[in-house]
Structure 1
Amino acid sequence: MTETRFHAMPGGRQIAYRFTPGQGPALVFLPGYMSDMAGGKATAVFEMAQATGLSCLLLDYSGCGQSPGDFADGTLSRWKEEILALIEALELQEVILAGSSMGGWLMLLAGLALGERLKGLIGIAAAPDFTEWGIPQMDKALLADGETIWEDNPYGPEPTPTHPGFWADGQANRQLEGEIAIDCPVRLLHGQRDPDVPWDISLQLAEKLRSADVQVTLIKDGDHRLSRESDIALLLRTVAELVLPRAGAAD
């Protein structure tokens, strides 16, 4: 097991990460909202990379998992900055981003910033723009007034907060309203029994991406997490399809 390390950001933030060097483009797994790098999908991707000699980076956004900080300070822009800082610090020249739920929004923002270094995207129940379509108008008004809203959390005992800073930053980073200038191969996986992110979001995303190499895989009985053994197997096959040919070409 590769040890957890910490990257120091300007201003004192410490970002927890795990990295295994290897061939080909580096896989970078981006967790969902209030999730971390200890999740089942992230762990499976990391273990696959270690077993096949691929490069892989896991990280916890500030205020999440092992990274210190206040979750209430977290925004997409802040977390994107942390992702890009780690990619730079580790000198990763080619990158494939895999994003789960909110991580699927962050993969677009980070991918746009990476430019030609971006070699692929894998979205797992990707949730771009959920501050727009996922929040009722009444709650948007509360957030706009500076109030935090709380929702029932089906995945844990504590309610899920949405803080006004995160919401405002999300609204400023919406991606589905115009063309997304990304040209690399993109694979989108989505369960059709996802109660949190409608699977139509992946279809909308596929339409907005400029890339001609976009494939959407719908799992008819899949839920939001897509963490069953069969779901993990599909994710790893998808990773292998994108990464292994490039890793072979780099030999």
Structure 2
Amino acid sequence: MSYNEKIDATLADTLTTQDGETLAYYHLLGSKPGIMFCGGFMSDMTGTRSMALENFARKRGQAFTRFDYRGHGQSSSSFREGTISKWKMDAITVFDSLTSGPMVLVGSSMGGWIALLLALARPERVVGIVGISAAPDFTEDLMWAKFDENVRHTLITERVYLKNSDSFDQPYIITMDLIEDGRNHLIMREPIPIKAPVRLLHGMRDTSVPYQLSIILADRLKSEDVQLHLVKDGGHRLSTNRDLSLLMRATSDLLEI
């Protein structure tokens, strides 16, 4: 089954945050539980996984929401000014303003971290989480801990570092504000008090986020209903038709619990 039917991804509405930023979003009315997609670092809401999920939700008659964090896609602000705190609050703003009732969160890469933070903030409404190459604590464990002394010196003195990316044509913009703020949201150091069912999907050839992180995450979560699916030849994006079918099965599983 194909989930790549064409949808006009340019159609977006906007809402305004408490601090005056404009967030672009698309919201599809439908049955509950609804689905909300949280994108990755430097990604936007028109990517393969989010649009495939919208097709999936539309065919099921399911409520669905996708959005751009500030500094991403069609939303306001610059990417360089973004932090985990700001992107978390953007997700909460969209969640509170546009959705109602039980929700399944789907988070890709950084969006997996954001989805976990959102579930911790709104545990009464989040009934399931799907993580795609989830990257909780990536600012500390996949950035700062991996940087050599020269990169750390650049960040400390210049407050910004441009890092070549395997996933994007342009370099990652990494700021010291992002690193420092990320330390306020680390969740992998102790058990994570999320009890909702969780499905984790990760490619074993992911060169951006090691699949071992999902194994550790599965252990940290307090939920007893956690399933991890490793794709041996899968990369970071997990966006082939086979990967998308896996994503839809995981999402459908949580919608029907």
Tell me the residue number matched to 1:237.
249
Quote how far apart the aligned CAs of 1:196 are. Answer: 0.8
1:27 aligns with 2:27: no
Tell me the residue number matched to 2:216.
204
User: How much is the aligned-residue C-alpha RMSD, in angstroms?
Assistant: 1.4
The 5 Å alignment of 1:69-218 reads 69-135=77-143, 136-138=147-149, 139-145=151-157, 147-218=159-230
Quote how far apart the aligned CAs of 1:140 are. Answer: 3.9
Aligned equivalents of 1:211 and 1:127: distance in 2?
18
Unpaired runs of 5+ in structure 1? 247-251
For residues 4-62 of structure 1, give each alpha carbon's deviation from its aligned partner in whole angstroms, at most 9, with x where no partner exists. 10011122210000010111111110111000100000000011101110011000001
Amino acid at match of 1:206: A
Alignment length, in residue pairs? Answer: 245
**In the alignment, is the contact (CA less than 8 A) between 2:29 and 2:64 conserved in 1?**
yes
Unpaired runs of 5+ in structure 2? 1-6
* Distance 1:116-1:224 versus aligned 2 partners, 3 A rule: same
Tell me the residue number matched to 1:38.
46
Amino acid at match of 1:11: D
For residues 125-167 of structure 1, give each alpha carbon's deviation from its aligned partner in whole angstroms, at most 9, with x where no partner exists. 0011111221225234543445211111223332111111111
Amino acid at match of 2:190: G
**In the alignment, is the contact (CA less than 8 A) between 1:98 and 1:123 conserved in 2?**
yes
What is the SS of the residue equivalent to 1:189?
A: strand
1:53 aligns with 2:61: yes
**In the alignment, is the contact (CA less than 8 A) between 1:182 and 1:209 conserved in 2?**
yes
Tell me the residue number matched to 1:227.
239
What is the SS of the residue equivalent to 1:224?
A: coil
Q: What's the TM-score once normalised by structure 1's chain length?
A: 0.93
Aligned equivalents of 1:137 and 1:182: distance in 2?
34
**In the alignment, is the contact (CA less than 8 A) between 2:24 and 2:67 conserved in 1?**
yes
Aligned equivalents of 1:187 and 1:78: distance in 2?
26
Question: Which range moved further: 92-101 or 147-156?
Answer: 147-156
Aligned equivalents of 2:153 and 2:183: distance in 1?
13
For residues 229-248 of structure 1, give each alpha carbon's deviation from its aligned partner in whole angstroms, at most 9, with x where no partner exists. 111111011111111x25xx
Quote how far apart the aligned CAs of 1:91 are. Answer: 4.3
**In the alignment, is the contact (CA less than 8 A) between 1:144 and 1:168 conserved in 2?**
no
What is the SS of the residue equivalent to 1:36?
A: coil
